[in-house]
Each structure stands twice: as C-alpha cells, then as structure tokens.
Amino acid sequence: MAEHVYFFWDYAHTDEEIRKILQGDNEVEKVWVISRILQVARWEDIWKYVTLSDIRQHLDRLQFRNPHLHELWRHALTIWSQPDE
C-alpha cells in the first residue's frame, strides 16, 4: 500500500496521485495542490513537486490561508527573476 504524503494529512493522497494531478489537465485541482504544497511542505520537498515556472504560471490563482504568504511568494519570484549583476 502506498504511503500518503504528509502535507495532505486530511486527504488520502499518495505521491503518485499528487504527481498525476500536477501533470493533469484539471487546473482547479492543480492550483489546489500547488497551494497546499507551498503552504505546508518542507522547503526541500516543494521542489520535488513544483518548479518556479509552475508557481509563476498559477500564482494569481493560488489560495493561501495566510494572505501574507501570497505576497512572500510573489516577492520571491520577483527577486529570483532578476538577472545576476
């Protein structure tokens, strides 16, 4: 039996199921999963599931329990998008 991912403690989602949602066409589910990952997953685990491109593409639709997190991610993407000087 596959183990459930810790950042979906309230749902019985496995790693495989999360990856299928992220690769699938259902944008509502994808945004929900990315939002959860960015809020709850450990830093090193975030990057096992999503890319900066994924976050940029969906940022305006991501839902956070704490609105400050949305601004933090927006700011991080701005900083990370600047060329090195």
pLDDT value at position 67?
86
**36 within domain boundaries:** yes
**45 within domain boundaries:** yes
pTM of the full predicted structure?
A: 0.89
Torsion of CA 13, 64, 60, 79, to 10 degrees: -100
Average confidence (pLDDT) over 4-10? 90
**1 within domain boundaries:** no
The model's pLDDT over 21-73, given as tens digits with 9 standing for 90+, comes to: 999 999 999 999 999 999 999 999 999 999 999 999 999 999 999 989 999 99
The number of folded domains in the chain is: 1
pLDDT at residue 1 greater than cutoff 70: no
- Angle between helical axes of 27-40 and 15-23 (0-180°, round to 10): 130
Domain residues for 15? 6-81
**74 within domain boundaries:** yes
